[in-house]
Amino acid sequence: MSEKTVVITGATGQLGRQCVRAFEGAGWKTVGTGFSRANPPAILKVDLGNAEEVVGLLEDVKPKVVVHCAAERFPDKCDTDPEGVKRLNVQASNSLAQECANRDILLIYISTDYVFDGKPGAAPYEADAATNPPNFYGETKLAGEQAVLNAWKKSVVVRVPVLYGDVEENKESAVNVLLDTVWNKAGKERVEMDHWSIRYPTNTSDVARVLKDVAEKYTSTDDIDSLPKILQFSSEDRMTKYEICQKLSEIAGLSINHITGNDKNDPNAVVVRPYDCHLSTKALKDLGISVDTVPFDVWWQRHLRAFKH
């Protein structure tokens, strides 16, 4: 087993790509896997639901760490293919953890703030707070957490909130895609935007850095059992989707007269959204791992400077 070799699943996604950069930049031999967007040999095509392919990958690469980014992460999509989502978010995660256990490989499982119901007044949530997912997506990610932790003692869960950052297409991120709404290329006269649920948009490059730091911390200890099994990372930038649109409009110099904020919760929505799932980062801080994040405004000013009027 190489001392500094890592496999990153979901390496074609917005977080996975940043993880490849972060680990490579820190001197790790980095092997990324994907499926529909894989482009061998740069990104290996691996069906995580196929046990033989997973075993072949781990036998060939012999990693010290697997960072499991692959998941169905869009709550709205989860209700249209629940069985497919369970296969990826739960069953494939469980199988991966078992194969990591067979080879003494550290597994880092990426989870979500949607394991919490986010009722008003409950946040911030510590890592050991009681879970109560508000929707099917959160249920599958929590089930995935439980599966990997039960399957292998060297599994670590890292929960994160909604992510943004460098993307191939804006639709990859629930935050970046709001830029399309602000630009209003579709020419809509009126768009209603959620102004009730609180988000903490966090940059994928910061998450990737933290995951690399976690990998190095957990592989350099002789007593991994003494380290926490669940960690949480989040920015402190607090805003609704409507407020995100306001920020983007200010930075890009675009009008959002076509966007109307809706500050009412819809209890009958197809996908129930929590009010505030702010994650406490105390467990990471206690490990001496930096929880600094790039300010939302600063990143977007840099990213959109070519479009600023």
The Cα–Cα gap between 11 and 63 comes to 15
The Cα–Cα gap between 248 and 22 comes to 27
The Cα–Cα gap between 235 and 44 comes to 31
Nearest to 152 by CA among 87, 66, 86: 66
The one catalytic residue among 125, 137, 200, 218: 137
The Cα–Cα gap between 92 and 144 comes to 9
* Catalytic-residue membership of 114: no
Q: Where are the alpha helices (DSSP H) in 152-293?
A: 177-183, 204-219, 241-252, 282-286
Q: Do residues 46 and 57 lie in contact, with contact meaning Cβ atoms separated by under 8 Å?
A: yes
Find where tokens 């790790």 sit. 28
State the catalytic residues: 137
